[in-house]
Amino acid sequence: MANAYYATRRRFLRASAVAGAALAAWESDSLAQGNQGNITQGDIDILRFFAAIEIIETDLWVQYNELGGIQDNEFPGGGGTGNRTYTHALKVLDSDMDQYVHDNTDDEFSHSDFLNSFLASVGAQPVNLDRFRTLHGSTATGAVPGKLRLTNLMSLKVDTSWWTRYRDDSHNPDLDPNFEFPPAVRGLTLDPGFPAIPRTDHDLKPSDHIQAIANTAGFHFATIEQGGSSLYPTMALKVTSPVVLRILLSIGPTETMHFQTWQDKAGNAPPLTDPTNGLVFPDLNSPPFGGELFSTNRIMPEPCPFLSRSLKPCSVIRPVSTDPAVFGATKAVQSLKDEQLFLGQKDAFFDFMTDLATRADSATRQ
């Protein structure tokens, strides 16, 4: 069945490539003739920030796919060989997890590649983070040995407050920036952090330990993608060029599709206590959890206050504040840093990302 799926997909891609070649030539001429609209420096700054973020996302998703995704030759540089024990633990959350992990990885490659190619097409500098690939990854069976990474998935502190933020019908971080939405898994916020992938083959047992690692990954998947869900519409409010607006409004919804998928799967994480470190995954459908804020079958965003409390509640992406003090590029980078995704990175990396984020936050619609 899997082979038939990929054969069909390859035939579709080949056919699409033929049709796309003519379209690409036309659009290239269109861009060269200036039909892309008035692309400002602020637009470029926003696109360069997103190109960097998508490269970072690609890096972390590649690590997840090497160990727990579908193994094939679709991705540049080759992938891993898979880890049967870790993949099985992920499949406890959903039997199709390996396919979803693979496809999310594929999407992130497409986003980073497209954004950089568009930047080059309008004479702007693409983003390259290769010099920051200095972190050592997992040595568990299935990971590519010796491959250097941008991100660290082996000691995460995962903010799961999105679980209640999207189920709360009374608060919106845009209107209530100081309101504390309780996390679904408070233990994931504690020091020293927890692995979302097996670090070595020693992490493959006992069974509750590797399941806790898979549970952590499940919640981290959604945490990463909910950030993109908010960031794209937030930055879209700052751009000037119609084609740049089109780009952000087209990529952003795919991030939301990712988040919707992953928050549903995270709700299937079995309650347990990791015997090696005491990390507790609670039963979110039982006291003191449960109810409207924690029920695992409520995966649609609850209507909440939006723009003004004088208006009727509305089901929306949240937050999308254009105030960088509330949310924006700089806040997003800080959130990734706080979750220890960059644990071990050099100051030069943070300086580079902070500069990109600051420029993106400073952009204004002309």
Least confident among 78-82, 237-241, 245-249: 78-82
**pLDDT attached to residue 153:** 98
* Residue 281's pLDDT band (cuts 50, 70, 90): very high
Instruction: At 94, list the tokens.
Output: 């959903």
Token pair 């060989």 is at which residue?
81
Please tell me whether residues 52 and 26 are part of one structural domain. no
Q: Is the pLDDT reported for residue 10 higher than 50? A: no
**pLDDT attached to residue 346:** 96
DSSP string, 94-141: -TTHHHHHHHHHHHHHHHHHHHHHHHHHTTPPPP--GGG--EE---ST
**pLDDT attached to residue 324:** 82
Q: Within 13 Å and on the Cβ side, how many CA atoms surround 299?
A: 17
**pLDDT attached to residue 325:** 80
Least confident among 20-24, 57-61, 253-257, 271-275: 20-24
Token pair 């693409």 is at which residue?
126
The closest of 179, 176, 182 to 161, measured between CA atoms, is 182
Please tell me whether residues 2 and 126 are part of one structural domain. no
- Structural domains in the chain (count): 2
Please tell me whether residues 127 and 1 are part of one structural domain. no
Please tell me whether residues 276 and 350 are part of one structural domain. yes
Q: Are 65 and 221 in contact (CB under 8 A)?
A: no
Please tell me whether residues 21 and 144 are part of one structural domain. no
pLDDT average, residue stretch 7-21: 44
Instruction: Residue count of the chain, please give it.
Output: 366
Q: With pLDDT > 90 as the criterion, what percentage of the chain qualifies?
A: 85
pLDDT average, residue stretch 6-27: 43
Least confident among 57-61, 83-87, 290-294, 320-324: 320-324
**pLDDT attached to residue 228:** 96
**pLDDT attached to residue 196:** 98
Q: Which residues pair with 77 in a beta bridge?
A: none
Please tell me whether residues 24 and 49 are part of one structural domain. no
* Residue 135's pLDDT band (cuts 50, 70, 90): very high
Token pair 């069974």 is at which residue?
207
Q: Which residues touch 204 (CB under 8 Å, ≥6 apart)?
A: 83, 85, 86, 140, 198, 210
State the burial class of residue 361 (Cβ atoms within 10 Å of its Cβ: 0-12, 13-18, 19+). buried
Domain range for residue 21?
1-35
Q: At how many degrees (to 10) do helices 207-236 and 41-68 cross?
A: 160
Q: At how many degrees (to 10) do helices 97-121 and 84-91 cross?
A: 100
Q: Is the pLDDT reported for residue 2 higher than 80? A: no
Model confidence pTM above 0.75: yes
pLDDT average, residue stretch 119-148: 97
Q: Is the pLDDT reported for residue 21 higher than 60? A: no
pLDDT average, residue stretch 148-172: 97
Q: Kindly state the helix (H) or strand (E) to which residue 182 belongs, with its residue range.
A: none
**pLDDT attached to residue 3:** 46
Please tell me whether residues 28 and 67 are part of one structural domain. no
Please tell me whether residues 116 and 22 are part of one structural domain. no
Q: Is the pLDDT reported for residue 304 higher than 70? A: yes
**pLDDT attached to residue 19:** 37
Q: Is the pLDDT reported for residue 14 higher than 80? A: no
Average pLDDT, the chain: 91
Please tell me whether residues 79 and 162 are part of one structural domain. yes
Q: Is the pLDDT reported for residue 22 higher than 50? A: no
Please tell me whether residues 9 and 72 are part of one structural domain. no
Least confident among 30-39, 185-194, 204-213, 321-330: 30-39
* Residue 35's pLDDT band (cuts 50, 70, 90): very low
Please tell me whether residues 191 and 210 are part of one structural domain. yes
Sign for the CA dihedral angle at 83, 85, 64, 105 comes to positive
Q: Which residues pair with 306 in a beta bridge?
A: 308
pLDDT average, residue stretch 82-97: 98
Least confident among 84-93, 151-160, 318-327: 318-327
Please tell me whether residues 30 and 53 are part of one structural domain. no
Task: Compute the distance between CA of residue 18 and CA of residue 231 in angstroms, rounded to an integer.
Answer: 34
**pLDDT attached to residue 76:** 76
**pLDDT attached to residue 74:** 86
* Residue 77's pLDDT band (cuts 50, 70, 90): low
pLDDT average, residue stretch 68-81: 85
Least confident among 11-20, 29-38, 221-230, 275-284: 11-20
